[in-house]
Structure 1
């Protein structure tokens, strides 16, 4: 058994598993929800529409459904927990999302979108994410958060839409441009996973074949394809994360929308790249060592044949001389 092939085999297996997790993270409620690409916190979305009310004698807002609701929240907060700012923020955050009909957070995964609420509340440090639902898993999923929010607002208790909460159109316009990059990421992950899977099978073959540097070269080729595909996919995800969070925070913070990078997802994808890189280096070493050993064997055989011919020639010369 070729024990030196076990290390790149193990690396290929690890890269294959991690890449699959990157692809299928969040495909159902509760499955690796912490490994989202981007998470959008909407627990305070629309807070800018709440009238400032420091006393109960302040002017009342226009008598519309949304105005009455926000006025009621402001009045209750100011009268019951006045002076405790942190409690006020937490209370508003928990009530806002529920009353206008949206969830407190939305998370983008490579093939779907999940949503849910925070427990015990949105402002609690280290709050837990309770997953409510996830969209159907779709290859090359497009992150259309504006459409999702608008649908939920329209069927919510107040029957409002994005324009009522001053949702900036620049957010979705920017995300639409990033969706193309995510499409490419999906394809690259698929290539990387397929190549890693083939590398696993080829590595198993190499474990039982000795001295074949062509097998090592083939394994190196598969490992290289997988490494490059995963590397480019990881770079794209890193850039998309950065641009998406900056975009949402730039235009959304004023109305209560906040975006966060999925750092755990980044760790997952870059570790997959690293182990596949190690597998590629291991097969390079295997190929070089195998080629050197074969060259040494050829030299030894050639020397042996030359020495044999020289000995036979000397014996023949001695016989001809009568010795």
Structure 2
């Protein structure tokens, strides 16, 4: 039974590892899971070549920018024809700042009618955004360590790795869970502030439902895997010995008769 729990915990950790990697590295290139974004900022169309793009997809460690093409015939979704044109460099200490992403004359001038208070909103959550990325990175590293420990434990059952297994599982679950809470609060708070301050200037935002769903799914998988690992490592029940060991320990029939 313990081996079954170990394999189940390994599978859960591996799936969570893949899902959280998708969340962490989304938006590193124009075609790399752009829909898995923390939030998307929509901006009004400009009248000159130097105007900003139509939207900005904000991710954990980067942002992408693009345009909204005309809707195809028969399409009712106004955002169904988004075209990503470029993405920023990936960095752990990333935080989106419109005054850096856009030309200064647009964020400080009247051409775009840009509400400068929105720039202040992003700056207010700058440290929170960076802390979230760091915690996500620590969580991913911990899940990677979990996978190594679990593979060793299944390959060499006699190695006493239960404490390390549970320790890394707890660390990874805690980090991913805390990062998910921060991401959830950050996305909803920023979207509310941007929509409130951008009212009347055609600047608004939408939170990334796919990203939030994936990060919470990863947290749930790690929590379940941690429960399996904990019950496997600290279970007091003794498993029945293998048949070969029972045969070796059983006394000969002659000795029993004597």
The TM-score, its normalising length taken from structure 2, stands at 0.83
- Partners of 2:105 and 2:19 in 1: CA distance: 34
- Partners of 2:23 and 2:47 in 1: CA distance: 30
- Partners of 2:170 and 2:105 in 1: CA distance: 45
TM superposition shift of 1:209: 3.8
Find the partner of 1:131 among 78, 84, 91: 84
Alignment CA distance shift 1:277-1:217 (3 Å): same
Find the partner of 2:222 among 276, 291, 312: 276
Q: Quick check: which one's helix share is greater? A: 1
Find the partner of 1:107 among 30, 54, 57: 57
The TM-score, its normalising length taken from structure 1, stands at 0.67
| Pairing 1:174–2:121 present | yes
Find the partner of 2:168 among 211, 222, 226: 222
Question: Unaligned 5+ residue runs, structure 2?
Answer: 242-258
TM superposition shift of 1:187: 1.1
Residues 76-132 of structure 1 deviation map (CA, whole Å, 9 limit, x = unaligned)? xxxxxxxxxxxxxxxxx5xx4666622111111111121111122499525221011
- Partners of 2:65 and 2:47 in 1: CA distance: 12
Alignment CA distance shift 1:165-1:2 (3 Å): closer
The answer to whether the Cα contact below 8 Å between 2:180 and 2:216 also exists between their aligned partners in 1 is yes
Find the partner of 2:66 among 83, 102, 116: 116
The answer to whether the Cα contact below 8 Å between 2:143 and 2:172 also exists between their aligned partners in 1 is yes
- Partners of 1:144 and 1:162 in 2: CA distance: 16
Larger Rg: 1
Residues 152-188 of structure 1 deviation map (CA, whole Å, 9 limit, x = unaligned)? 849xxxxxx5344332222111211211111111111
- What's 1:292 paired with? 237
The answer to whether the Cα contact below 8 Å between 1:188 and 1:230 also exists between their aligned partners in 2 is yes
Alignment CA distance shift 1:236-1:168 (3 Å): same
- What's 1:192 paired with? 139
- What's 1:143 paired with? 96
Question: Unaligned 5+ residue runs, structure 1?
Answer: 46-92, 155-160, 298-323
The answer to whether the Cα contact below 8 Å between 2:31 and 2:84 also exists between their aligned partners in 1 is yes
Instruction: Please give the secondary structure, in 2, of the residue aligned with 1:35.
Output: coil
Alignment CA distance shift 1:99-1:16 (3 Å): same
Residues 255-280 of structure 1 deviation map (CA, whole Å, 9 limit, x = unaligned)? 11010000000011111101110110
Cα RMSD for the two superposed structures? 2.5
Residues 19-76 of structure 1 deviation map (CA, whole Å, 9 limit, x = unaligned)? 211111000012111011110111xx2xxxxxxxxxxxxxxxxxxxxxxxxxxxxxxx
- Partners of 2:3 and 2:80 in 1: CA distance: 50
